[in-house]
Structure 1
Amino acid sequence: MFDNPVLISVIVLTILSLLKVHVIFALILSALVAGLVAGLPLKETASIFISGMGGQSETALSYILLGVFAAMIAHSGISNLLIQKLLKIKKPNKILLLLLIAGLTCLSGTLIPVHIAFIPILIPPLLYFFNKLNIDRRAVASALTFGLKMPYLWIPVGYGLIFQGIIATEMTSNGMEIATSNIPIAMAIPAIGMFVGLFIAVFLTYKKSRTYNQLATAELAAVSEDEELMKKFEPRDWITILSVFIALGMQLWFGSMVIGAMSGIITMFLGRIITLKDGEEVVQDGVKLMGAIAFVMLIASGYATILKETDAINELVNAVNGVTGDSKFITAILLLLIGLLVTMGIGTSFGTVPILAVVFVPLCLAVGFSPLATAALIGTAGALGDAGSPASDSTLGPTAGLNADGQHDHIWDTCVPTFIHYNIPLFIFGVIAALVL
């Protein structure tokens, strides 16, 4: 088991990331290690890796389009309304502010389907505000990651509907039928673990003040404090809000983030919020916002393909089957550990579920887990590692906003804190869900 390509590759990825090797190089090197350990020739490993990058092409395109949409929203100026309201609060409560950020982030995956694209727009101007309050940005990263993860685990709207649909479809196709409507029931207990992690991070771990330097990147927020420049709500803002709802409606209707984002973009153009003259500049800004993250997702897809081709995940599960016997408790623990390993490497819960379901469902049937317990195990195993993975959009997004002034480290200020505060509670509550459902 200890010579398993997945295990070795994820360890390499973790070490490289902790040593601050850029996530793109860390993923490529880890993918090559996985292939070589599995006995694949270097040329074949590289070929599989490159061909596998297309697996996340729709997701990458979605992120770029959502980045353009978010840049248009920023260009409209409506995001400054929230910033100005915050700046006018004379004695803001830091904990309430963090909980508000977590709540607003929850909307990005449900009612306002821009996902992480809003973070590089909204968070950099707020850094000025965070610095004045001496808020520890690790707490902000924890709040953002909570808002990006918890809704899709539990709430059957937007990304949650997609994630839960994948669980139901993969379970059914592998021999255990379950309705999509039952997945929120199965994921309720693991979702509680997310709330526990958030409250520990906000109320305990990062409650103390932390000092940052006020740099030029916070100029937008500083200017917003000028009462003469305070923005008033205008008719164009209603058009911007309309474009958001149109994007949401089209995404839900067609089940496509690409169609949803394009609908919002077209509405912004038709409403003259963005003119054709400004279009090129805004599109470039949007690509800058999300282009790097989209490229990381493509590379992560290539890495996932390498792991699939080596058949190393099946070997891990077979090794688990030989150790656990009929013990549900031990089986649940080991299955979740496998999920943690795989998702840490791949960096996406959505992409991990189909990989795990193929081998999890037969094993859960053999041990005697119910469909709800199996769904909880697969969903939690898929989500484990999403927080804390250097290749996950749940960590890349927060870093993209919080490091706008170069004072927030991706690994030590985002990945490590979110790994500790969310993967540990998720693991514990995932085991509880598997045993009680």
Structure 2
Amino acid sequence: MATNAVIVSVIVMVVLSLLRVNVLFAIILAALTAGLVSGMSFADSINLMVSGMGGQANTALSYILLGIFAVMIGLSGITKLLVNQILNIFSGKKTMLALTIAGIACLSQNVVPVHIAFIPILIPPLLSLFDRLKLDRRAVATALTFGLKAPYVMIPAGFGLIFHGIIRDEMLANGMNISLNEVTLSMLIPGSGMIIGLLIAIFISYRKDRVSKAADQREIPELDMAEGFTHEPDPGSWKTAHTFTVIAILAALVIQLTTDSLVLGALTGIIIMFLTRVIKFNEGDQVVQEGIGMMGMIAFVMLVASGYATVLKETGSVSELVEKTTGMIGDSQMLLAFFMLLLGLVITMGIGSSFGTIPILAALYVPLCAAAGLSPMATAALVGTAGALGDAGSPASDSTLGPTAGLNADGRHHHIWDTCVPTFLHYNIPLFIFGMIAALIL
């Protein structure tokens, strides 16, 4: 089992990431490792990875366009008005600010399902405020990841309805009957562990004052998206440009929800900003450069992560890993639950997607749970929790890449040590424990 391609490649990715190797290189090297361990050549591994990158092409383009749209919104001056208002409300109340950000992030999964689209719009303008309040950005990262993850784990609406529906459909496809309501009830116990993790992060782990510095410890000037442009709106009062900006945001949201396309939504907002002259046409090149600078990294990481997931699937090492593990377990339901969750953690850390991992896990787990005498609700808790484990903390997950893209807009937030490690500790550990409890009592 120690030579299994999934285990070896995930270890390589995690170790390289912890050593501060750029996550893009870490994932590429992990994909090559998975291919080589499974018997592929370098060329075959690369070709397979590249062929799988198209699986996230739509997502990558969405993130680039959202970054451009976010830069435009920043240039309108409306975000500076927002920061001034937030400063008045949350002056000296940094804990409440972190909890509020968690609440806003929760809305992005269920009420207004835009996922990470709000982060490049909301977070970069607040970075100077975080520093003035001495709010630890790791607390903000855990708050954002909680909002991106906990709602779909527990609430059957928006992305949560999709997630719970996948669990139900895959369990039915593998011969175990369960209703959507039962899936929801089974996921409440694991999800409650994430609430505890959030409270520990905000009120204990990252409660102390902290001002983020650049990696080389030199001060970086305060982020100003207007630099290099021909105008800088006065944020002191509401202007026509702000009204058009709000219209663009609402139009982008409506188009995204009605067409289920982030690309069309972001394009709509961008076009409105140009047509209403909030942003001049001759500023287009600079806007695109700023937008790619903000969200380009996350887009390329998502592409490479998709290729890595393809390599893992094609090697057949996931099925092999589960088969070898279950052969060591015996009849113990506790050991079965423990190793299933552990395998889910390893697999999802590599693939980086809870939604994409569920079909893989369900096909392998459902027959095993049925043979061990676990109830459908206990099985749903195991499948759902195993899929959700690793999403928080994975260097390749949009639940961590999204927060980093916003918090690192001024170069003062490290993806691994300031986002992945805190979210891994505060969410995967309680998810694991509460998932075990759910599997044993349901």
* TM-score, normalised with respect to structure 2: 0.88
In the aligned structure 1, how far is the partner of 2:411 from the partner of 2:273? 32
Which residue in 2 is equivalent to 1:79?
79
| Unmatched runs of 5 consecutive residues or more in structure 2 | 214-218, 227-232
Letter in 2 for 1:297: M
Letter in 1 for 2:184: P
Letter in 2 for 1:128: S
Asked whether the equivalents of residues 395 and 420 of structure 2 are also in contact (C-alpha less than 8 Å), the reply is: yes
Which residue in 2 is equivalent to 1:22?
22
Which residue in 1 is equivalent to 2:216?
none
Which residue in 1 is equivalent to 2:439?
434
- Within-5 A mapping of 1:38-117: 38-89=38-89, 91-117=91-117
Asked whether the equivalents of residues 70 and 114 of structure 1 are also in contact (C-alpha less than 8 Å), the reply is: no
Asked whether the equivalents of residues 74 and 225 of structure 2 are also in contact (C-alpha less than 8 Å), the reply is: no
Which of the numbers 369, 376, 379 marks the counterpart of 1:364?
A: 369
Q: Which moved more, 1:98-107 or 1:261-270?
A: 261-270
Residues 212 and 62 of structure 1, relative CA distance in 2, 3 Å threshold: closer
| Unmatched runs of 5 consecutive residues or more in structure 1 | 222-227
Residues 111 and 244 of structure 1, relative CA distance in 2, 3 Å threshold: farther
Say which SS state the counterpart of residue 43 (structure 1) adopts.
helix
In the aligned structure 1, how far is the partner of 2:245 from the partner of 2:170? 37
Instruction: Indicate the RMSD between aligned Cα atoms, in angstroms.
Output: 2.8
String of CA shifts for 1:251-289, please: whole Å, max 9, x gaps.
444444444444555555666655655555444433332
In the aligned structure 2, how far is the partner of 1:23 from the partner of 1:45? 18
Q: Which moved more, 1:399-408 or 1:289-298?
A: 399-408
String of CA shifts for 1:67-101, please: whole Å, max 9, x gaps.
34433433443333321112234842121111111
Q: CA deviation at 1:204?
A: 0.8
Q: CA deviation at 1:24?
A: 1.0
Residues 89 and 332 of structure 1, relative CA distance in 2, 3 Å threshold: same
In the aligned structure 1, how far is the partner of 2:296 from the partner of 2:39? 33
In the aligned structure 2, how far is the partner of 1:108 from the partner of 1:258? 17
In the aligned structure 1, how far is the partner of 2:225 from the partner of 2:52? 41
String of CA shifts for 1:336-384, please: whole Å, max 9, x gaps.
1111101111222222222222212222222233333222222211221
Residues 63 and 229 of structure 1, relative CA distance in 2, 3 Å threshold: closer
Asked whether the equivalents of residues 110 and 157 of structure 1 are also in contact (C-alpha less than 8 Å), the reply is: yes
In the aligned structure 2, how far is the partner of 1:403 from the partner of 1:203? 23
Q: CA deviation at 1:21?
A: 0.9
Asked whether the equivalents of residues 254 and 265 of structure 2 are also in contact (C-alpha less than 8 Å), the reply is: yes
Residues 285 and 160 of structure 1, relative CA distance in 2, 3 Å threshold: farther
In the aligned structure 1, how far is the partner of 2:220 from the partner of 2:280? 32
Residues 435 and 273 of structure 1, relative CA distance in 2, 3 Å threshold: farther
Letter in 2 for 1:63: Y
Q: Does residue 317 in structure 1 map to residue 325 in structure 2?
A: no
What percent of counterpart residues are identical?
59
Asked whether the equivalents of residues 69 and 265 of structure 1 are also in contact (C-alpha less than 8 Å), the reply is: yes
In the aligned structure 2, how far is the partner of 1:204 from the partner of 1:31? 37
Q: CA deviation at 1:180?
A: 4.2
In the aligned structure 2, how far is the partner of 1:368 from the partner of 1:245? 50
Q: Does residue 161 in structure 1 map to residue 166 in structure 2?
A: no
Say which SS state the counterpart of residue 401 (structure 1) adopts.
helix
Say which SS state the counterpart of residue 197 (structure 2) adopts.
helix
Q: CA deviation at 1:244?
A: 4.3
Asked whether the equivalents of residues 164 and 180 of structure 1 are also in contact (C-alpha less than 8 Å), the reply is: yes
In the aligned structure 1, how far is the partner of 2:298 from the partner of 2:334? 37
Say which SS state the counterpart of residue 123 (structure 2) adopts.
helix
In the aligned structure 2, how far is the partner of 1:121 from the partner of 1:242? 15
* TM-score, normalised with respect to structure 1: 0.88
Q: Does residue 343 in structure 1 map to residue 348 in structure 2?
A: yes
Which residue in 1 is equivalent to 2:357?
352
Letter in 2 for 1:34: A
Which residue in 1 is equivalent to 2:230?
none
